[in-house]
Structures are given as structure tokens and as C-alpha cells.
Structure 1
Amino acid sequence: MNQLILIDQFVVPSQSRKQFIERMQINRSFIKTQPGFINDMAYEQTTENGEYKFIALAIWENEESFMQAKKAVAALYQQQGFNLPEMLNTLQIRMDRGVYSPLSN
């Protein structure tokens, strides 16, 4: 089976940066405990207009482990009363999400 890589890109207004990073750290800590998790990375860039761009990658052993982790994250959000779309809207954060597979040689 092929690994899957979840790549999230966020554009975050400067006033929302602190709150966004706190939430990202909660999520990153949680996914690291999930079966099939391999690695994650996060990057930050300051834009010309003072916003921040973040790229977060999470690498999973296969599609099954990725799908199980998605379910676990959804359960965590429900337990915490956390609503991702609401947070993005309130903090005026734009998100682009994609799931990728490595290219074969």
C-alpha cells in the first residue's frame, strides 16, 4: 500500500496567528498518537501584506490508517466541542486541503 500525505495550506491574518498556532499544536500532538502515523511537518511564511501562510503535512502509512485518523480527529473535535469551519470563519482563515500519494518511479 502507498503512503498518503495530507497537505493543508492556511492563510492566517496576523491577529489570528496565536490562536491558530495553539489549535495546530493540539491537532499535531493528537495525530502523532494515531496508528499508522509516520511523520508531520509544519512551515510558516510571512506574506507581503502581513498575513501568515502555513503549510502542514502529515504522512500516513496507508489510506486505511489515514481514514481511521480522520475518524479519531472528528471524535476528538466532537468531545472538545470544537468546530473547525466555525473557527476558520471567525478568525478569517482560508484553508486549502489535499490528500496526495507519492509518485511512482
Structure 2
Amino acid sequence: MSAAAAQAEGGTVTLINVFEVPECALQASINYWKLSRDFLQTQPGYVSTALHQSIAPDAKFMLVNIAVWESAEAFKAASAKMMQTAGIAPVDGLKFTPGLYTVIETD
């Protein structure tokens, strides 16, 4: 089954969001993630999230967020609402690249 077909049948989507963290801004970036998580977990369609930190001190992506949402539409609506109403100030220089995925293979 294709990823689009799985989503059409009501399967969950996985958000994978990688973060390029400016030097000396790791804790501020984690705090930003926590504020965002606190807002998003109250939104319809939220399932779970986990923040991962690289064990390599020179990693390009120091933080990686993995979240599960009931649908792409739920994630997009929650993200738009957060940007419009939550008032969460971004960390200067923090770059993040979110993408939505579906599982196509497991062990």
C-alpha cells in the first residue's frame, strides 16, 4: 500500500523535525520545543512526541523531534493555530525542517 493510500485510510502520520541549533543555544532550543509541545499536545489529532539529542557534539542536527499525529490535516491545523495564537518566541538562529511521513516497512 502506498503512503498516500495508508493516509487516506486513516493511518497516522509521523512528523520528523530536525533542528540546527546555534552554538550556545541548546537549552533555549529545548525550552522552545517544550513550549511548542505543551501547546500542540492540547490540539485535536495529537498522539505523542519525543525529542532526541545527538550524542555527537558537532552534529548538524543537534535535536530531532519525532511526533505522531492522527492525520496530516490535524498536524497542519495545529501548527497553523500555534503560529497564529500561541505567542511562542523562536530562538534566534534556530533552523528546523519538519516533514510528515507514513510507515511503509517494519521489522
Q: State the TM-score bracket (shorter-chain normalisation).
A: 0.7 to 0.9
Counterpart position of 2:97: 96
TM-score by length of 2: 0.73
1:5–1:52 distance in 2 versus 1, CA, 3 Å: closer
Counterpart secondary structure, 2:99: strand
CA RMSD, 1 decimal: 2.5
CA distance in 2, matches of 1:95, 1:36: 22
SS of the aligned residue for 2:54 comes to strand
User: 1:45 corresponds to which residue?
Assistant: 54
2:27 counterpart (3, 18, 32): 18
- Aligned-residue sequence identity (percent) comes to 21
The two structures have a TM-score, normalised by structure 1, of: 0.75
Unaligned runs of 5+ in 1: none
List aligned pairs for 1:54-93, cutoff 5 A: 54-77=63-86, 80=87, 82=89, 84=90, 87=91, 90-91=92-93, 93=94
- Runs (5+) with no aligned partner, structure 2: 1-9
Quote the Cα distance in structure 2 between the aligned partners of 1:28 and 1:55. Answer: 13
Larger strand proportion, structure 1 or 2? Answer: 1
CA spacing shift, 1:95–1:67, aligned 2, 3 Å: closer
